[in-house]
C-alpha cells in the first residue's frame, strides 16, 4: 500500500459523502466511500472517559516557554495524502510542537497517536483498513479499545506498519 496517489477522489464519491444520511459516519479511503452507523452509547461512553483521562494526564499548555503536552481531538476530520483519504479516528492526538491549529478544518497533519474504539460493525474495518493506512501515513502510536470485550491493544510504528506492543484484558479504567 502506498500513502500517495496520483488522482483525486471522484466528484461522485465526494457528492455521495456530502449526501450521506444523518447519523452515518463517512470516510473515503483510496477513492472508495465507506459508511458506518453512528457509535453506540457504550462506544461513546468509552471515548469520553478515555479522552478525559488523557487530557488530565497530558494537558496541552501554550505558555511563554513554548508548547508542551498533547492536543487530543474527538473524531477529527483528517485529510491525508493525494486523494485525499478522509479519515475520522475516534480520538487523535498530536504532541504540542506538532499540533495543528484548532482553526484547521480539515486537519492535514498526521496524528502522533490515535485510538479507534471497536464495535461489531467497525472492528474489521478499523483493524484491516484504517490501522494499516495510519501506519503508512506515519502515525507513531495506535490503540484499539474494545469496551465490550474490555480489552486495549497498544501498537507502535515499526517501519511502515504497526507492531502490537501490549494487550490488556479485563481493564476497568475506561
Which pLDDT does position 68 carry in this prediction? 84
What would be the CATH architecture of the domain defined by 11-61+70-169?
Answer: Alpha-Beta Complex (3.90)
**35-51 pLDDT per residue, tens:** 888 888 888 898 999 99
Q: Where are the domains of the chain?
A: 11-61+70-169
Which pLDDT does position 37 carry in this prediction? 82
* Mean pLDDT score, 126-142: 97
User: Using 50, 70 and 90 to split pLDDT, how confident is the model at 114?
Assistant: very high
Burial class of residue 22, CB neighbours in 10 A (0-12, 13-18, 19+)? exposed
* Residue 127 to residues 19, 117, 121, 164, Cα–Cα distance (Å): 27, 11, 12, 12
Give me the count of residues in the chain.
174
Contact 111, 93 (CB under 8 A): yes
Question: What mean pLDDT, rounded, does the chain reach?
Answer: 89
Higher pLDDT, 60 or 92: 92
Higher pLDDT, 40 or 166: 166
User: Using 50, 70 and 90 to split pLDDT, how confident is the model at 173?
Assistant: low
- Please determine, for residue 59, whether its predicted confidence score (pLDDT) is greater than 60: yes
Amino acid at each position: 500500500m502506498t500513502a500517495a496517489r496520483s488522482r483525486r477522489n471522484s466528484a461522485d464519491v465526494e457528492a455521495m459523502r456530502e449526501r450521506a444520511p444523518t447519523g452515518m459516519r463517512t470516510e473515503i479511503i483510496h477513492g472508495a466511500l465507506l459508511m458506518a452507523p453512528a457509535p453506540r452509547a457504550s462506544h461513546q461512553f468509552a471515548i469520553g472517559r478515555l479522552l478525559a483521562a488523557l487530557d488530565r494526564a497530558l494537558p496541552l499548555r501554550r505558555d511563554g516557554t513554548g508548547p508542551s503536552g498533547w492536543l487530543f481531538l474527538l473524531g477529527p476530520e483528517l485529510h491525508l495524502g493525494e486523494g485525499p483519504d478522509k479519515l475520522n479516528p475516534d480520538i487523535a492526538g498530536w504532541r504540542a510542537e506538532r499540533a495543528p491549529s484548532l482553526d484547521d478544518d480539515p486537519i492535514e497533519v498526521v496524528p502522533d497517536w490515535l485510538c479507534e474504539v471497536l464495535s461489531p460493525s467497525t472492528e474489521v474495518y478499523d483493524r484491516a483498513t484504517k490501522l494499516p493506512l495510519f501506519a503508512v501515513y506515519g502515525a507513531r502510536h495506535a490503540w484499539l479499545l474494545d469496551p465490550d470485550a474490555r480489552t486495549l491493544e497498544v501498537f507502535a510504528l515499526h517501519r511502515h506498519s504497526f507492531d502490537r506492543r501490549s494487550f490488556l484484558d479485563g481493564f476497568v479504567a475506561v
